[in-house]
């Protein structure tokens, strides 16, 4: 037991106590329900220990770490190009977006700037992985509420986006396309026109989701006013991304932070919603997906010509120093704090993933809600298990 943290001990004792309680006859003062680690609504292996009174949650505590793969430690024994492959697997639905902040941090330390064409293509792929990720959320939200059709539509239309990513990078889920100083290779012929038609399809999908799920009366009664997170609380728990924009905070790192990517070159809007409930989180993500397709369209129109790779030494050694780069990933703020001692690999990498912070609000937001709403709220907070445990 001494190896366990206090948190784990409490979780363990909680589990044992629950077991004991089942055996006690006529114990009616509440029930401990383990939601997960094997539960369809937790997208993987998140465990939530809930204490219930009837169907009402008295307290809820997330237990994570079932999928911990030790990426921060692993990066210390890898070279920079190898790490790129590794961090693809953090948020597996938007892999390319994981690569970008790390590469940017390394580039900052090496004082290299990728050529403009590379930056634009990076931005395009960043938004494509956002679309690939959030389309799945739009369907997933339906299936968590019992509308199974939505998720199949989401898988169907996400396929178009994945095909485009595959066409250019060779990898559907894990592109491994970003390089220090530029990109692996240029876009294939005909890719631009094809991507534009795909973006139109994604916009149609967003309209379809809005009519099928977003404006459904039952969906609205299930999500409006459920899991309300006021903006001060959201800030206090370190929420980011669409979760905090749904609480009304106009904050988007794509616009507000100083990265060399091409968001500043195009016209787009940061969507916010004043309500802060589950519906707001769904709505904001729906609008953002549509906005992302518009960003991609504009970037494709203005794509500059030129090389896609800056001059980079054959063996990459990053000079000593420290750098922090965060970007607005599909799930929220994702950042890498990179410490280099001048070796082939980093000395230490701290990975700040959005889902980890986003689910830290679970004990607060689940207090007093009903069991069905637990699922709605978890779905609307939208986390990827790999992104929590990394």
Partner 1 sequence: MTLALELAYWQQLAIKVLAILVIVPTATAIIVQTFLFKMMAHMQSRLGPMEAGPHGTLQLMADGAKFVQKELLAPARADRRVFTLAPVVVLLSTFLLFVVIPAGPGIVAENLDLGIFFALAVSSISVLGVLMAGWASANKYALMGGLRAAGQLIAYELPLVLAVVGVVIQAGDLSLQGIVRAQAEGEIFGFGLIGLPFVLTQFLGFALFLIATQAELTQPPFDMPVAESELVAGFQVEYSGLQFLYFYLGEFGAAFAFSALAATMFLGGWWVPGLDLEGGLLANVVGPVVLFAKTMAVAFVIFWIRFTYPRLREDQLQSFAWKYLIPLSLVNILVTGAFKVIF
Q: Which residues bind partner 1 (CB under 8 A)?
A: 22, 31, 33, 39-41, 55, 142-149, 152-153, 156, 212-213, 216, 218-219, 221-222, 370-375
The least distance separating partner 1 from the CB of residue 223, rounded to whole angstroms, comes to: 9
Closer to partner 1 by Cβ: residue 100 or 138: 138
d(CA 205, CA 186): 28
Q: Which is nearer to partner 1, 217 or 267 (CB)?
A: 217
Q: Beta partners for 329?
A: 332
Closest CA to 359 of 331, 320, 317, 321: 331
Closer residue to partner 1 (CB): 19 or 256: 19
Which CB, 8 or 38, lies closer to partner 1?
38
For the chain, the distance separating the N- and C-terminal CA atoms, rounded to the nearest angstrom, is 24
d(CA 48, CA 371): 12
Distance CA 354, CA 137 (A): 15
Q: What single-letter DSSP state applies at residue 212?
A: I
Q: Is the dihedral of CA 234, 235, 237, 243 positive or negative?
A: positive
Q: Give CA–CA dist 237/225, Å, rounded.
A: 20
- CB of residue 259 to partner 1, shortest distance in Å: 37
Nearer to partner 1, 214 or 386 (CB): 214
Closest CB 21 distance from partner 1, rounded Å: 10
Instruction: Give least dist CB 41 to partner 1, A.
Output: 5
Hey, which residues does 339 pair with through a beta bridge? Answer: 322, 348
Query: With respect to partner 1, which residue has the nearer C-beta, 339 or 379?
Result: 379
Give kind and range of the element (H or E) at residue 358: helix 354-358
Residue 346 and residue 75 in contact, taking contact as beta carbons nearer than 8 Å: yes
CB of 353 to partner 1, least distance (A): 24
Is the CB of 33 or the CB of 294 nearer to partner 1? 33
User: Closest separation between CB of residue 216 and partner 1, Å?
Assistant: 6
Whether residue 75 has a cis bond before it, omega within 30° of 0: no
CA distance 39 to 35: 6
- Write down the least CB distance from residue 40 to partner 1, Å: 6
Classify residue 228 as exposed, middle or buried by CB count within 10 Å of its CB (0-12, 13-18, 19+).
middle
126: which 2 tokens? 């960043």
> DSSP secondary structure string, 48-64?
EEEEEETTEEEEEEEE-
Q: How many residues are listed for the chain in this entry?
A: 390
Q: How far is the CB of 11 from partner 1 (least distance, A)?
A: 17
- Of the pair 208, 291, the CB lying nearest partner 1 is at 208
Q: Which is nearer to partner 1, 126 or 219 (CB)?
A: 219
Q: In angstroms, what is the minimal distance from the CB of 57 to partner 1?
A: 12
Q: Which of 73, 105, 68 is nearest to 90 (CA)?
A: 68
């Amino acid at each position: 037991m001494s190896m366990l943290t206090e948190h784990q001990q409490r979780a363990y004792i909680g589990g044992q106590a629950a077991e004991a309680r089942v055996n006690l006859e006529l114990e009616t003062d509440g029930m401990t329900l383990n939601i997960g680690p094997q539960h369809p609504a937790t997208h993987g292996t998140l465990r939530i220990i809930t204490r219930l009174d009837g169907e009402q949650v008295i307290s809820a505590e997330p237990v994570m770490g079932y999928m911990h793969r030790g990426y921060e430690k692993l990066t210390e024994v890898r070279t920079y190009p190898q790490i790129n492959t590794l961090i693809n697997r953090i948020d597996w639905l938007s892999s390319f977006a994981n690569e970008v902040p790390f590469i940017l941090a390394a580039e900052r330390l090496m004082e290299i700037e990728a050529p403009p064409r590379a930056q634009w293509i990076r931005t395009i792929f960043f938004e494509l992985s956002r679309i690939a990720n959030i389309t799945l959320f739009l369907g997933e939200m339906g299936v968590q509420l019992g509308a199974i059709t939505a998720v199949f539509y989401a898988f169907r239309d996400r396929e178009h986006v994945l095909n485009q990513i595959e066409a250019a990078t060779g990898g559907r889920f894990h592109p491994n396309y970003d390089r220090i100083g530029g990109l692996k290779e240029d876009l294939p012929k005909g890719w631009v026109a094809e991507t534009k038609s795909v973006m139109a399809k994604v916009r149609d999908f967003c309209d379809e989701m809005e009519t099928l799920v977003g404006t459904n009366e039952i969906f609205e009664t299930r999500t409006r006013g459920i899991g309300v997170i006021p903006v001060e609380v959201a800030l206090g728990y370190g929420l980011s991304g669409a979760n905090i924009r749904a609480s009304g905070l106009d904050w988007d790192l794509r616009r507000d932070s100083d990265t060399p990517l091409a968001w500043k070159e195009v016209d787009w809007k940061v969507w916010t919603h004043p309500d802060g409930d589950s519906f707001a989180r769904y709505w904001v993500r729906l609008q953002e997906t549509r906005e992302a397709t518009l960003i991609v369209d504009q970037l494709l129109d203005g794509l500059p010509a030129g090389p896609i790779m800056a001059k980079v030494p054959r063996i990459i050694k990053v000079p000593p120093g420290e750098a922090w780069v965060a970007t607005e990933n599909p799930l929220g703020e994702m950042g890498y704090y990179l410490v280099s001692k001048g070796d082939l690999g980093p000395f230490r990498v701290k990975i700040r993933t959005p889902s980890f912070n986003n689910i830290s609000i679970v004990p607060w937001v689940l207090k007093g809600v009903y069991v069905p709403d637990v699922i709605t709220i978890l779905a609307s907070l939208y986390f990827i298990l790999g992104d929590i445990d990394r």
